[in-house]
Amino acid sequence: MGRLDGKVALITGAGKGMGRVAAELFAAEGALVAVADRVRNDGEEAVAAIEAAGGTAVFVPVDVSDATQVAAMVAATMESFGALHVLYNNAGIFPADDGGTTDTPEPTWDTVIDVNLKGVWLGCKYGIPAMLDSGGGSIINVASFVALVGAATAQIAYTASKGGVLSMTREIAVEYARKGIRANSLCPGPIETELLAELMSDPERRQRRLVHIPMGRLGRAEELAKAALFLASDDASFMTGSSLVVDGGITAAYVTPE
Catalogue the active-site residues: 158
Burial of 185 (C-beta count, 10 Å sphere; 0-12/13-18/19+): buried
Give phi and psi for 109, each to the nearest 5. Answer: -55, -50
Cα(138)–Cα(150) distance, rounded to whole angstroms? 28
**List of long-range contacts for 102-107, beta carbons under 8 Å, 24+ apart:** 104/156, 104/157
At residue 66's C-alpha, the angle toward residues 108 and 83, to 5°, is 135
Cα(190)–Cα(213) distance, rounded to whole angstroms? 9
Query: Within a 10 A sphere around the Cβ of 104, how many other Cβ atoms?
Result: 20
Evaluated on CA atoms 9, 15, 19, 25, the torsion sign reads: positive
> Would you list the DSSP string of 226-257?
HHHHHHHSGGGTT--S-EEEESTTGGG-SS--
